[in-house]
Amino acid sequence: MTTMVGQPVSRVDGAAKVAGGAHYTADVSLPGLVHAVLVDSTIASGRIRAIDTAAAERAPGVLAVVTHLNVPKLVYPADAPKGGASTLRRVAVRAFEGPQIFFAGQHIAVVVADTLERATHAASLVVVSTDQNQPVAVLTSHLDRAYRPERINGNRETDTSAGDIERGLRDAHVQIDEIYVTPIEHHNSIELSSCIALWEGVGDAKSLTVYDSTQGVCDQRATLATTLGLPQERVRVVCAYLGGGFGGKLSVRPHTALAALAADRVGRPVKLVVKREQMFTSIGYRAANVQRMRLGARRDGQLTAIAHDAVLGTATHEEWVEQSAAISRMLYACPNRRTTHRAVRLNLDTPTIMRAPGEAPGSFASEQAMDELAHKLAIDPIALRLRNYAEADPETGAPWSSNSLRQCYQVGADRFGWSQRSATPRARREGHELVGFGVASAARAVNLLPATVRVRLLANGRAEIATAAHDIGTGTYTILAQIASDVLGLAPDRIDVVLGDTLLPPSPAAGGSTTAPSVGSATQMAAEAAKRALVALAIADGHSPLFGTNSDDVELVDRKLVVRTAPERAEAVDSLLRRNGYGPDRPLAVEGSYLPPPRKAWSMYSFGVQFCEARVDADLGLVRVERLLGVFGVGRVLNAKTARSQLVGGMIQGLGMALLEGTVVDPRLGRFVNASMADYLVPVNADIRSIDAICVDEVDPRVNAIGAKGLGEIPIIGTAAAVANAVFNATGIRVRELPITAEKLIGGLQG
């Protein structure tokens, strides 16, 4: 029998999305639905002196104007540790706490009306008087304010040290000491953040249902319950489909709590859709980074020291710090290592997780520094990396559960034609274009979290897989159907997958590349439990041909239970279920729960290598990426088609990071200058020439039962560095500040 796992199965939800049957949050329609529009602060620092809502309240169709002056106090979950993952669930309470203004775009009023147009008009009538302070808004202008945060994202240590970094630098024959800068970057998913809040019941029976564009309905429920003072069982959160998130929809943002408050005030369902320009100030962003990389090495390329010091922006009212230097703790073998993180409080919204938090900006610094070291030593960049390959995790000393990095270098170099690279920058020219090759390594920790899945077997030859997990465009609906298909002997199109509702068994949020390894494992466990239940039912049924058979001798093939040693003894699953009282209203239902094992024995990472061919116009400085190749070791690939889609998509996002993306802050006003899709540039079709992503065969039985590591974030890691290294190889100009633009090259090209 052909196994479905690993096959390039087309998305089982594809037809619904193409035909309009997939309803996203803003598509939900409820009786009596009204609309809310946010009023935001135009200043970045100061206090509200007065809010005049009279004109807005008199406007046609207006039902309420909600401000900090007329709402109950929200509960602050103070037990969340600073910098830890749970910090993400704190931000909802920062809505309407009082008159203090922390950043431009802070929500200060919500106007509710019977139509969106009327709510929008009334919002323009709200008059806010403020006392304004000069904001602190640009990281690079305020590095002297840097302080040491308690923890960094993932509840990691802020600083780490091994060996003697100063001695390692002194013992080096060659040193690199450079500063690398990455700007603020925004998520810009296609679907705007939106929510619909509905209250039902009265008194102690009052409950809240929220339809929300979120990456984690269970986390959303927990936060909203705490924030609004409700038991969790009286909060339901629903999100069946998500139009992209990239981390920006992982945490509860203020607008969701405000929609719930507004719905409570007017006694009707309230829809709130964040405007595109508000997506820059309402859902977080990747903070700006200033990173100092110091490397020391002997003449043969062996590293003697790695020092990675990162300074990042955070908010004045909350602390969330990305783990940008963490990648330097584990990627290369080196006896002397140090990483530090410092933060600067800015009058901006709280930064948050963005695809591959930490590793994406961190690898831009670390992998460029490795390229600079290779150039200085006159060693091939891949040879330098192989010379410093880590046989075990340098940070913990634990052996790798699997590590295919060497294979990724070899396969990628052969496929890309790396041998054609000239070691001399600016040596290759074709017409008016300078041509260069670049490479960078990638690594991302495997994240495993508890998950529960319910399998229901129906007496019509179908099965249902249900869990509160999400498909954020990654193909979760499809891979869960494939996993269940192999166990249950059903084609994927006969398996219905139901996701994104807190009424379903709990599963983790779709972030950190956790869904495939965690929820996929739970799906396999639940499907195996369902299979065991079927076999037990058959061998205990005196009317079944399998009655009295040893359970180990029964297999499930093509919707039939069959005795392996006597194939003539077989029974259709549908017949067995119907005879035992199971039908449309009484399916056979079982659950399976996955609990991650202790990880101290093994270090679990996905690895990869990015290759880039860049062409630079010698007269204009314009950069065109001609080829991108990513080679990855990510454990077992569950679906070849959706996996490639994820890998290519991440590499394209990395290309945007390298050449286009960056949010500009006006230092006088603390406001984002390019808060629109017209001015914040992202890659489009014309920017992408040849792009390829492949996975090497990797078997990792230690990571989980299905052998999957997750691959949503690894493809963006190292892409920007590979592009920057290719640009240097093409031009001889080292660009250490993103994005790489013509303005940063033209002077050096003409000089």
CA distance 489 to 484: 8
CA distance 46 to 102: 7
CA distance 375 to 371: 6
Q: Which of 286, 272, 264, 228 is nearest to 92 (CA)?
A: 228
Please give the C-alpha separations between residue 166 and each of 88, 89, 148, 328, 334, in angstroms, as whole numbers.
Answer: 36, 40, 21, 16, 13
Helices (H), 512-557: 520-539
Residues 6+ away with beta carbon under 8 Å from 265:
64, 66, 112
Q: Which of 427, 317, 312 is nearest to 44 (CA)?
A: 317
DSSP, collapsed to helix, strand or coil, labels residue 321 as: coil
DSSP, collapsed to helix, strand or coil, labels residue 417 as: coil
Residue identified by tokens 């449309």 is 584
How many helices and strands (H and E) does the chain possess? 16, 31
Q: Which of 712, 223, 708, 718 is nearest to 480 (CA)?
A: 708
Rounded to a whole number, what is the distance in angstroms from the first to the last CA of the chain?
66
CA distance 604 to 622: 40
Residues 6+ away with beta carbon under 8 Å from 593:
450, 451, 452, 453, 505, 522, 525
Residue 319 annotated among the catalytic residues of the structure: no
188: left (phi over 0), alpha (psi -120 to 50) or beta: left
Residue identified by tokens 């619904």 is 16
Question: H or E element: which one contains 11?
Answer: none
Q: Which of 706, 701, 690, 243 is nearest to 500 (CA)?
A: 243
What does DSSP assign to residue 87? G
- Retrieve residue 259's tokens: 């929609």
**CB-CB contact of 502 with 235 (8 Å):** yes
Distance of CA 59 to the CA centre of its chain: 41
Residues 6+ away with beta carbon under 8 Å from 522:
451, 452, 453, 467, 507, 592, 593, 594
Dihedral, 156, 161, 162, 165 alpha carbons, nearest 10: 150
Q: How would DSSP label each residue in 217-261?
A: HHHHHHHHHHHHT--GGGEEEE-S--S--TTTTSSPPHHHHHHHH
Q: Which of 494, 504, 564 is nearest to 535 (CA)?
A: 564
**CB-CB contact of 236 with 209 (8 Å):** yes
Question: H or E element: which one contains 282?
Answer: helix 279-282
Helices 520-539 & 476-488, crossing angle to 10 degrees?
30
Which one of 568, 713, 737, 743 is the catalytic residue? 713
CA distance 546 to 582: 18
* Burial environment of residue 625 by CB neighbours within 10 A (0 to 12, 13 to 18, 19 or more): buried
CA distance 379 to 390: 18
Q: How would DSSP label each residue in 352-387?
A: ---SSTTHHHHHHHHHHHHHHHHHHHT--HHHHHHH
Quote the radius of gyration of the chain (alpha carbons, Å). 27
Residues marked as catalytic: 713
